[in-house]
Amino acid sequence: MNQKIITRFPPSPTGNFHVGSARTALFNFLFARKNNGKFILRIEDTDKTRSKKEFEDNIFESLEWLGLKYDEFYRQSDRGKIHRTYIEKMLDDGSIYEAEDKIIRFKNPNKKVKFNDLVRGEIEFDTTELKDFIIAKSVDEPLYHLAVVIDDFESNITHVIRGEDHISNTPRQILIQETISAPRPIYAHLPLILAPDRSKLSKRKHGESVSLDYYRNKGYSPEAMINYLALLGWNPGTEQEIFTLPELINVFDFSRVHKGGAIFDEKKLAWMNRKHFNLGKTRDK
Ligand code: GLU
């Protein structure tokens, strides 16, 4: 591909930065850097009641602590005018319409959508069951699917790398892309991160131990955290387990991202932390 590779990390500032978000940010960063591409941070703050400044600050601090530098940054809420232009155009051409209750719905063409995922291979959905789904609350209030598709298109995103929980969102987003003639990005859905008992790592069940700050406050180093996150769902295909960020940029590749859930094991992280600590000592001599 001679097109410049552009990835994005679009967290919503609605809670403390999750270790799963850190892993998603890392994989987007590695893939962009490896290909001399661009890595964009987009704060998805259109949900005004749930988005909070303190959580946005926590995103910036977390990325900085991890050493994941982005090339561009914007807030979704600053792009209302652009979103509105698309909504008006789509209302005009009939691809979306205002329903009786004033919400805006997408006119579903009811067809099969097939896409090729870099991790999971070919995935096919029949979109009929999605009906005419809601796309905006008003011309000034696009919902997630529409805002994501417009912003990804406007930013020329080539690869959408995100958690597996977003697979079911993909067919809706592809239908929207097709109506606004946006090229389809390449998708890569990363395996879920699981607790040692194989349940999904969630704040409700696992409390603060899902947040990056929890590990940061316990004294784990960013180098160990990055190394550990890289191995959550990916392996280098060799016996090597200890990597620095520049080494990861070199070796990272989607062909060795697995489909199965990745278990978050703090003991392994602690072991890596000691290894990186010792590496640091030899370097400082
Ligand atoms: N804001 C969404 C999230 O935090 C982004 C999902 C996506 O990558 O499209 O889950």
pLDDT for res 204: 85
The total number of structural domains in the chain stands at 1
Supply the range of the domain harboring residue 263.
6-70+191-284
Atom number of ligand 1 nearest to Cα 148: 9
Pocket of ligand 1 (CB under 6 A): 10-12, 44, 148, 162, 166
Domain membership flag for residue 165: no
Atom number of ligand 1 nearest to Cα 24: 8
Domain membership flag for residue 269: yes
| Distance between start and end Cα atoms, the chain | 44
Residue nearest to ligand 1 atom 4, measured at CA: 11
Domain membership flag for residue 278: yes
Residue nearest to ligand 1 atom 9, measured at CA: 148
Q: CATH number of the domain at 59, please.
A: 3.40.50.620
Q: What are phi and psi of 186, to 5 degrees?
A: -85, 135
pLDDT for res 281: 83
pLDDT for res 3: 87
To the nearest whole percent, how much of the chain has pLDDT over 90? 91
List, for the chain, all residue ranges whose pLDDT scores fall below the cut of 50: none
> If you write DSSP's letter for every residue of 129-185 in order, what string do you get?
GG-S-EEEEETTEE-HHHHHHHHHHHTT--EEEEEGGGGGGHHHHHHHHHHTTPPPP
* Amino acid letter, residue 271: W
Domain membership flag for residue 164: no
Domain membership flag for residue 113: no
Domain membership flag for residue 104: no
pLDDT for res 128: 97
Q: How far apart are CA 121 and CA 281, in angstroms?
A: 43
Which positions are annotated as active-site residues? 203
3-state secondary structure of 96: strand
User: Among 12, 18, 76, which residue has the most ligand 1 atoms within 8 Å of its CB, making it the best to mutate?
Assistant: 12
User: Among 6, 39, 148, 189, which residue has the most ligand 1 atoms within 8 Å of its CB, making it the best to mutate?
Assistant: 148
| Total-model pTM | 0.96
pLDDT for res 228: 98
Domain membership flag for residue 262: yes
For the stretch 185-224, pLDDT in tens is: 999 999 999 998 899 888 888 888 899 999 999 999 999 9
Q: Which residues contact 257 (CB under 8 A, 6 or more apart)?
A: 27, 118, 119, 188, 190, 191, 233, 234
Q: How far apart are CA 127 and CA 170, in angstroms?
A: 10
Distance 79 CA to ligand 1 centre (A): 17
Q: How far apart are CA 153 and CA 108, in angstroms?
A: 20
Domain membership flag for residue 28: yes
pLDDT for res 1: 53
